[in-house]
Amino acid sequence: MNWKTFGAMLARDAHVARRNMIQLILQTFLQPLLFVFIFGRVMVGSGYMRADYKSLLLPGIIAISMVFTGIWAVAMPLIAEFQWTREIEDRLLSPINISWIAIEKVIAGMIQALVAGLVVIPMAWLVLRPGVDIRINQPVWFIAIIVLVAAFSAAGGLALGCSINQQHIGLMFGMVITPMIFFGCAYYPWSALNGFPILRWAVLINPLVYASEGLRGSLVPQFSHLPLVAVLAALLFFDVLLLLFGLRQFERKAVS
Amino acid sequence: MKSGESLIYCRNLIFNCLRTPMNVGVRTKDLRKVYTSAPPLGAAGGFVARADARGSKQPKSEIIALDGLSLEVNPGEIFGLLGPNGAGKSTTVGVLTTRVRPTSGQAWVGEHEVWNEQAAVKYLIGVVPQRPNLDFSLTAREILIFHAAYFGIGAKQRNERADALLEKFKLTDRANQMVRGFSGGMMQRLSIARAMMHDPQVLFLDEPSAGLDPQTRILLWEVIREYNQSGKTILLTTHYMEEADALCRRLAIIDHGRMIALGAPAELKSSIPGGFLLRLRFRSLSPALLERLQSLSGVREVRSADSLGVDVYADRGGSLIGEVASAAAGERSDLLDVRISEPSLENLFLHHTGRSLRD
């Protein structure tokens, strides 16, 4: 393993992220903030939603921001670099095993997802306040969960970015990301699906469910949520699955 | 091992590690590559259509890109792979640069087997792709600096090298601009500068002068010769015979993934019978006319290209035309079209394959 090469690639991604800072910020935070404002402020303020919905919503928004950011940060550059600009070729020729280039992308995506998650918390809190009741009783669980959520989003970005073509980006959002968000228990707890026996079990194949429920369990444990041990195990499972699949796809793209 | 011996052993080991590997050659043995879908990224030099999701539903067709290619590029030489599009040039470069997994056979850069020692090989090689693949998120200078950083070169050294190469390739005044707006020639120059940043022992250039203006081409040739003079090995692919002729010490002419000729450009050219090629077209063609053509003085070989066309290899060119025309008239035919070419690699290729390089 060549750490100098790995570090230089991370430095390159950080440099590019710094250069595109404003674009990144808008892309990452505008949508969740609008959601928070409409659902948390307008709907609750006008009485259509209960007051404690604010607290219920916050973990879901964090989960969506993280997952969306991680997927976007890894998948979009990969799609463009492999298919259009081919700029990844220079890194494929650097003295390092090519799997590490994919892992570097995942690490960079994880960092962006973590930053997105950690920045959304105070921003959303500012928009929603007063009336948000966050209780981080077990910080270790919280850290473990956000790290695993970041990893699954970045590894998912790798898997998606190496599996679809440029002309199918729209389809990816329509067929994968949108259903994932709506069936991801982000805007409602999993227990809200009790009345939908089939859907209730079907959504469990959606990794976002564990992200939302896990963050709910570690930030606002007063609401019902999936057991954190199950959440951790499921997230770990998806992390490994998506990473292995993503690495395989990456290699198939990189070497003919 | 005694302590004195082990000391010497260690010293030699360190010495061997520190010594920069000089004069690295390249070798392939029975290299075969069969694509089951369209050749992707690494191999397809540029504009080959790629199999997409829709394509995968169709029955897979096999494309034999390399068919048992064995070649040896000597350390320190400029070696050219000449052949038409689709001959297997880019696939050969792809295999040697870790980007294409051979179906069978082996390839070495120096003492390292390419597929099994990828990282070691990547230190030794620099690659200039057929189509620019510059990092569009960076400026010209950053592209060079980050490339050097990937190779573990320290900050001071990479800054110095970047400045020197930008100067050499006349890019200093555009150094801090994003490369998105660069012209094709500028991108190509920067690609070559980037490939040289880590001072590789073997430089691969895939169609380096495709699409370049004559001025840039001459600059490119100068740079390649100069780099070679510092003891570096250069392998370039081209379908411009002028380029192969001007630069290469030795050439391999390949077609359909096989080598059809190997040697110095002059040697190869002198192997064409006669040297001059006259491509003739007649109104009608009879065996008697072919015989008459063969009997003309200076004619070495006569081949009928199709029902009305004849390729004549001869020692002389224009002075034959009058005799050809009267021979045609004597056989109640007419000479309709004549193309004369002087001894060239193009003729050599045509002689071996019956096809033009540009077909």
Answer yes or no: do A5 and B151 touch at CB < 8 A: yes
Architecture of the CATH domain B26-45+61-268:
3-Layer(aba) Sandwich (3.40)
User: Is the pLDDT confidence value at B290 over 80?
Assistant: yes
Report the C-alpha gap between A42 and B349 in whole angstroms. Answer: 76
Looking at the whole model, is its pTM more than 0.95?
no
Segment B60-81 shows an average pLDDT of: 88
**Rounded mean pLDDT of chain B?**
82
pLDDT at residue B73, rounded to an integer: 92
Answer yes or no: do A86 and B138 touch at CB < 8 A: no
The residue among B58 and A154 whose pLDDT is bigger is A154
First CA to last CA distance, chain B = 65
Residue B36 DSSP one-character state: S
> Where does the pLDDT of residue B319 fall: very low under 50, low under 70, confident under 90, or very high at 90 and above?
confident
The residues, ordered by sequence, that sit 6+ positions from A21 with a Cβ below 8 Å of its Cβ are none
The CATH class, in words, for B273-342 is alpha beta
Ordered by start, the domain boundaries in chain A are: 3-254
pLDDT at residue B219, rounded to an integer: 86
CA atoms within 13 A on the CB side of B92: 40
Segment B193-218 shows an average pLDDT of: 88
How much of chain B exceeds pLDDT 70, in percent? 84
- Whether the Cβ atoms of residue B254 and residue B87 lie closer than 8 Å to each other: yes
pLDDT at residue B233, rounded to an integer: 93
Counting one residue from A and one from B, how many pairs have CB atoms under 8 Å apart? Answer: 103
pLDDT at residue B2, rounded to an integer: 46
Token digits for A203? 């959504």
Report the C-alpha gap between A117 and B279 in whole angstroms. Answer: 72
Answer yes or no: do B133 and A86 touch at CB < 8 A: yes
- Neighboring chain B residues of A5 at a CB cutoff of 8 Å: 150-152
- Whether the Cβ atoms of residue B36 and residue B110 lie closer than 8 Å to each other: no
The CA distance from B252 to the nearest CA of chain A, in Å, is 24
Residue located via tokens 């404690």: A52
Ordered by start, the domain boundaries in chain B are: 26-45+61-268, 273-342
User: Is the pLDDT confidence value at B42 over 70?
Assistant: no
Low-confidence ranges of chain A (pLDDT < 50): none
Report the C-alpha gap between B225 and A224 in whole angstroms. Answer: 73
- Neighboring chain B residues of A11 at a CB cutoff of 8 Å: 146, 149
The residues, ordered by sequence, that sit 6+ positions from B215 with a Cβ below 8 Å of its Cβ are none
The residue among B348 and B1 whose pLDDT is bigger is B348
Report the C-alpha gap between A172 and A183 in whole angstroms. Answer: 16
User: Is the pLDDT confidence value at B8 over 60?
Assistant: no
Token digits for B349? 């290729």
A130 upstream amide cis, omega within 30 of 0: yes
Q: Taking CA atoms, what residue in B is nearest to A97?
A: B119
Token digits for A59? 């973990």
- Neighboring chain A residues of B144 at a CB cutoff of 8 Å: none
B276 DSSP β-pair partners: B314
Segment B306-324 shows an average pLDDT of: 84
Which of B178, B143, B181 has its CA nearest to residue B162? B143
* Interface-testing mutation among A90, A101, A171, with chain B (most B C-beta atoms within 10 A): A90
pLDDT at residue B356, rounded to an integer: 67
User: Is the pLDDT confidence value at B44 over 60?
Assistant: no
Instruction: Quote the radius of gyration of chain B (alpha carbons, Å).
Output: 25
- Whether the Cβ atoms of residue A65 and residue A29 lie closer than 8 Å to each other: yes
pLDDT in tens, A69-99: 999 999 988 988 887 778 888 899 999 989 9
For residue B273, CA distances in Å to A142, B251, B268, B303, B324 come to 81, 19, 11, 12, 18
